[in-house]
């Protein structure tokens, strides 16, 4: 899992701005008894356009 706490299961999820919403359903860990949970954190990469996000994710997958 990606991210410091395992909230997101993929890099694509990690860079999804929807994760900041209270109705977000994490693809990884979520607190017991919760169906939705906002994944708060650093906003790095959340404002990228689709092409930039795709390039960043491709780069990160090479590391």
pLDDT, tens only, 27-50: 888 888 999 988 877 788 889 999
The pTM is what? 0.71
Q: How confident is the model at residue 1 (pLDDT cuts 50, 70, 90)?
A: very low
Q: Where are the domains of the chain?
A: 11-60
DSSP assignment of the chain: -BSSSS-BSSHHHHT-GGGGSTT---SS---TT-S--------TTTT--HHHHHHHHHHHTT-
Mean pLDDT of the residues in the chain: 86
Task: Quote the percentage of the chain above a pLDDT of 70.
Answer: 92
Alpha-carbon dihedral angle through residues 7, 2, 57, 61, given to the nearest 10 degrees: -160
Dihedral sign computed on CA atoms, order 26, 41, 21, 60 = negative
């Amino acid at each position: 899992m990606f991210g410091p706490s395992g909230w997101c299961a993929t890099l694509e999820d990690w860079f999804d701005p929807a994760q900041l919403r209270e109705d977000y359903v994490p693809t990884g860990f979520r607190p017991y008894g919760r169906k939705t949970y906002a994944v708060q954190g650093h906003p790095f990469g959340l404002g990228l356009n689709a092409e930039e996000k795709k390039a960043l994710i491709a780069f990160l997958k090479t590391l």
